[in-house]
Amino acid sequence: MIQQLIDRIETLQAPIVVGLDPMLSYVPEQIQKQAFEEYGETLAGAAEAIWQFNKQIVDATCDLIPAVKPQIAMYEQFGVEGLQAFQKTIEYCKSKGLIVIGDVKRGDIGSTSEAYAVGHLGKVQVGSHSYAGFDEDFATVNPYLGSDGIKPFLKVCREYDKGIFILVKTSNPSSGEFQDQLIDGTPLYELVGKKVAEWGAESMDGDYSNVGCVVGATYPEMGKVLRTLMPKTYILVPGYGAQGGRAEDLVHYFNADGLGAIVNSSRGIIAAYKQEQYQHFGSANFADASRQAVLDMKADINHALARN
């Protein structure tokens, strides 16, 4: 699966992913109004609004980007109806040729972790039939429970040619509280990084592994170290833009082959029309603003990579 992602990244010259993390407050008034007219101010109405919002952004950007990363929490907050919108979004993105990274940060043990893996990346058996629940191409996974939590994902990934990105060093200010703690002089995130490389060694797909990791754009020095520790591991990089990560900080997340990292932007793209820079598009043309923001992000990152 990672090779499919790499192929699209190379074809489009775009090591970027758009985070589909819709807050209801990002959705333009007119879309909310129409959804509420049809379904009322209900969970179903909210789900319809974010689905229509997503659809227009996907339509406006899918020829430019290799992948999307829907954040399931933003859908889960609207209960079952929200998760229906999550599922519809995944299905639609895949129909447009996009690779879908489910930002689900799941993690449990044994049969429970396997149930998450099956639900998001594999198929579940029901009598003599089998069904894909959500059917993302990649999922993000939390490593706190150790190998017992990861191995069921590896098994399902092998069976269905899917991939995972394991949290190593997250982009948030307090990520260091536990992740930076020193163990015999080595920070925990490095220890996790080494395990990621180990888990990944058995899941190679071309030059890279189907087991990737997450390292926040907000910690470029740590990203540099982790890059060398895990040469075959693709790094999913959140924190660019709105969270403060700059393109020039990200060049060391890439390998010498120009590959090895994919940078996410969520708010910066999907709510671009609310930023001063793109305000002139107006809320009616919010999706065009998102398209322009994608073009600008792509240029920004490619420029930094070319300069390096």
Judged by CB under 8 A, the residue of 4, 12, 36, 161 near its own copies is: 36
HSE, side-chain direction, 13 A CA sphere, residue 191:
15
Comparing CB distances to its own copies, the nearer of 144 and 257 is 144
DSSP state of 30: H
In angstroms, rounded to a whole number, what is the distance separating the alpha carbons of residues 87 and 80?
A: 10
Stretch of residues binding its own copies (CB under 8 A), selected from 83-91, 204-212, 246-254, 287-295: 83-91
In angstroms, rounded to a whole number, what is the distance separating the alpha carbons of residues 216 and 99?
A: 21
Per-residue contact string for residues 110-149; x = within reach of its own copies by CB under 8 A: xxxx-xx-xxx---xxxxxx-xxxx-------xxxxxxxx
Contact 266, 16 (CB under 8 A): no
Beta strand 163-169 pairing with 211-215 = parallel
Does 32 participate in binding its own copies (rule CB under 8 A)? yes
Catalytic residues, which ones? 105
Per-residue contact string for residues 149-188; x = within reach of its own copies by CB under 8 A: x-----------------x--xxxxxxxxxx-xxxx---x
Q: Which residue has the tokens 């699966």?
A: 1
Chain centroid to Cα 46, Å, comes to 22
Q: How far is the CB of 118 from its own copies (least distance, A)?
A: 5
Does 106 participate in binding its own copies (rule CB under 8 A)? yes
Comparing CB distances to its own copies, the nearer of 240 and 254 is 240
Does 34 participate in binding its own copies (rule CB under 8 A)? no
Comparing CB distances to its own copies, the nearer of 147 and 277 is 147
Does 42 participate in binding its own copies (rule CB under 8 A)? yes
* 265 three-state secondary structure: strand
Query: What's the Rg (C-alpha) of the chain?
Result: 19
Residues 53-82 close enough to bind its own copies by CB under 8 A: 71, 73-74, 76-80, 82
How far, in Å, are 97, 283, 286 from residue 275 at the CA level? 29, 11, 11
Number of amino acids touching its own copies (CB under 8 A): 73
Does 197 participate in binding its own copies (rule CB under 8 A)? no
